[in-house]
Chains A and B, each alone.
Chain A
Amino acid sequence: SAVISQKPSRDICQRGTSLTIQCQVDSQVTMMFWYRQQPGQSLTLIATANQGSEATYESGFVIDKFPISRPNLTFSTLTVSNMSPEDSSIYLCSVEYRNEQYFGPGTRLTVT
């Protein structure tokens, strides 16, 4: 299996600021994904981040708001920019490893 860690585990931020979330996996993986889970809701895919290429964003998500970096096969970051209270969610990193998808523990973000 692949073990994923995320930093920070939670944060409280003021509106208008930005937060960068880190995702580290213990194995080299090609595909990484970022999801958002708003309170009481299911998971929504934000983007797919493959090493060596630009991230692919889902409908409703744009690079200016959620820039993603993927510098190597074990690491990725997601930045939530110019935050508003509507960005309060759990943000989860996920990787594809040996035909299974593994999820990190999530980052709980509260924007005040």
Chain B
Amino acid sequence: GENVEQHPSTLSVQEGDSAVIKCTYSDSASNYFPWYKQELGKRPQLIIDIRSNVGEKKDQRIAVTLNKTAKHFSLHITETQPEDSAVYFCAAFSGGGADGLTFGKGTHLIIQP
């Protein structure tokens, strides 16, 4: 089955700086890569996703890049703000009627004032 590795587990950045979270996946058949944000005590919520036929996608301060050859994808947050503090999960979907989304273990992003 699919295996998703996510790094770092904790990331601390100064407010206004950029943050980058990286994930690798193992199944070359994976074709959908969403990112979820989970605030403390809340449910995970989708913030951005990318399909395997696209190399980059941007939504205001958030962007995701995908390198299919290297089997890795990254989340980029620019001009970080206090409300960006949360746990971020990457995920991969390998399809074929298999197990649905496989999630990384999460990155705790801390925005320092």
A and B: interacting chains: no
B residues near A, CB below 8 A? Answer: none
